[in-house]
Structure 1
Amino acid sequence: MDEAAIDSVSPSSMDADLDIPTAEGRFHRLALDQLRLMGLLTPDAKRSQIAEEYRLIKRPLIMNIDKKGADIVDNANLIMVTSALTGEGKTFSAINLAISIAMERDRTVLLVDGDVAKPSAAKRLGIKYETGLLDILDGSGMTVSKALVRTDIPNLRVLPAGKCHERATELLASEQMAKLMEQFSTRYKDRVVIFDSPPLLLASESAVLAEMMGQILMVVAADQTPRYAVNDALSRLNQDKIIGLLLNKYRPTFGNKFGAGYGYGYGYGYGNHAAETGVDSDSIAKSP
């Protein structure tokens, strides 16, 4: 049974934070109180600070998908969220971006836990299923429809990383992965696929994933990520991608009325011709 068949099935009488396998797929009810405690965006946030920040971040990404942005690229609905190093907030950002876009009336979102060596996106959402992306690729017979996890946010699906595999990079670089990405990109016109990727400087899988994406959002921790690390990470990306910089953990200084209250900045660029909007390039990263 393909994915279309599971969209019309609504589980009932389910407790919070519960994974339930069904004949049509798997379902997880998000524990919204726990997500809020972790600082994550929730569907009831409405006009909260974090909701407003991600409204600003997602808009240029959606415009690029609709071919209304500054540049047109293939697979613009495939978005990789990554960072140069660990601890910069890429998973936090990927989850929030996925939930924010899922709040759009005419979009559905698939959040893929693509950090296959150290997966954490599904875990942060309370999803306990072990099978996922790598199991689809390893020839064991797992299908997309069985691996997907539906959530009680109607437009949000999650694909866990799957069981650890010693040849994860080769699986991600395989022809089967290429076919899967084509399916993700073209099968549903309203679908946005967000990959939580490994850090660019620490894992070979990130370079493989980057080649398949249309848009890449690189998270940079303010006053933490060395500038040389940002430059090195950017140099590893193919310049035919739309590349955005997301300034995370930013705390505005006293008197900075334009930045007050906002912990994120978003810089938009295309290849080597990055044009920052709303983010001072000198504040993107400072060497220690």
Structure 2
Amino acid sequence: MDSIKQAVELARAAEVVHRPGVLSGSALAANGPLQRSAESPINEVRLRADHLEANRIVAYGTSGPNGRYYDMLRTQVLQEMDKKSWQFLAVTSPTAGCGKTVTACNLALSISRLPERSVLLVDLDLRRPAVGNYLGIDGNGGVLDVLEGRTPLSSAVLQASIGPNNMLVLPGSVSSNSSEWMASQTMGALLQTIKRDFRSRIVIFDLPPMLLGDDVISILPRMDAALLVAGVGSTTVSDIKECQRHLRRTTVVRVVVNKSTEAAGSYYGYY
């Protein structure tokens, strides 16, 4: 937890004082939307560089000066995950506005540029899904349609391409019962299917903010590791300490501190 302790110190130094029924898996098994291979024909979407850059998504290429920071984060995260043969990485933040979705999208795109790596980005923020908006992907279908049995996983997953690189994306959907879905057997079945059908890929899950409900702590036991994104100006010392309490049984591979090096012209710093 050294990285969390360093984030606590950074937040203290910045003197931030303001911060703005378990469902059964039987229906899933009966309808069988997750039994089809997700590596078969996948719908492709082309990402636009101008849209990505307007939304601070910069790690799709090697020419931008800010992309190198995400490449450094990518290398360190993959090194930690490879040591244990981990596949599932949860990305969360203490509260809203810390930049977790920007970090998840940039990290996924950075990994997609590695010739011997592949990645699946899953939007599991059922309270406020944003991956599709940041990437410029239509919000049709999504993870909730898969959970409710309306769409097979193989149809909901998209191949997002830009230049010679591509990654897979499972867009998000809004649910008024996000906590129940996170703890459900159906969600467990979905994650097991993703693990099986995408076993050669790193899977990044963009989760809701940790302190806004029990969604994250419900699903953390099903994740291999976590990446915590804090924000200078929006994350307090008490926020980080509360997250540390919930993350005691989860390996935190890195803590990203957004805008901590803003004066140097980069999007974030990390510890």
Does TM, scored on the shorter chain, surpass 0.5?
A: yes
Question: Counterpart of 1:159?
Answer: 170
Question: Counterpart of 1:43?
Answer: 60
Gaps of 5+ in 2: 1-35
Runs of 4+ in 1 over 3 A off after TM superposition: 186-189, 260-263
Question: Counterpart of 1:207?
Answer: 217
Question: Counterpart of 1:58?
Answer: 74
CA–CA distance in structure 2, aligned partners of residues 37 and 141 of structure 1: 33
Residue of 143, 147, 153 corresponding to 1:144: 153
Structure 2 vs 1, CA of residues 261 and 58 (structure 1 numbering), >3 Å: closer, same or farther? same
Pairing of 1:1-288 with structure 2 (within 5 A): 2-6=37-41, 25-44=42-61, 46-67=62-83, 72=84, 76-138=86-148, 140-153=149-162, 154-162=165-173, 164-251=174-261, 260-267=264-271
> Once structures 1 and 2 are overlaid, which stretch shifts more, 125-134 or 49-58?
125-134
Structure 1 vs Structure 2 CA RMSD: 2.1
| 8 A contact 2:259–2:269 mirrored in 1 | no
CA–CA distance in structure 2, aligned partners of residues 204 and 92 of structure 1: 22
| 8 A contact 1:214–1:242 mirrored in 2 | no
CA–CA distance in structure 2, aligned partners of residues 190 and 103 of structure 1: 15
Give the aligned residue type for 1:30. L
> TM-score with structure 1 length normalisation?
0.74
Structure 2 vs 1, CA of residues 125 and 38 (structure 1 numbering), >3 Å: closer, same or farther? same
CA–CA distance in structure 2, aligned partners of residues 166 and 33 of structure 1: 33
Q: CA deviation at 1:98?
A: 0.8
Identity %: 29
CA–CA distance in structure 2, aligned partners of residues 92 and 223 of structure 1: 17
Alignment length (residue pairs) = 234
Structure 2 vs 1, CA of residues 64 and 179 (structure 1 numbering), >3 Å: closer, same or farther? farther
Considering Cα pairs closer than 8 Å and 6+ residues apart, tell me whether 1 or 2 has the greater RCO.
Answer: 2
CA–CA distance in structure 2, aligned partners of residues 171 and 188 of structure 1: 21
Deviations 1:10-37 (A, max 9, x none): xxxxxxxxxxxxxxx4322111112112
Deviations 1:154-196 (A, max 9, x none): 431111113x333222222222221221232344443011111
CA–CA distance in structure 2, aligned partners of residues 184 and 155 of structure 1: 18
| 8 A contact 2:160–2:167 mirrored in 1 | yes
Give the aligned residue type for 1:41. V
CA–CA distance in structure 2, aligned partners of residues 178 and 100 of structure 1: 28
Structure 2 vs 1, CA of residues 229 and 66 (structure 1 numbering), >3 Å: closer, same or farther? same
| 8 A contact 1:211–1:238 mirrored in 2 | no
CA–CA distance in structure 2, aligned partners of residues 29 and 133 of structure 1: 20
Aligned residue for 1:66, secondary structure, equals helix
Structure with greater proportional helix content: 2
Q: CA deviation at 1:42?
A: 4.6
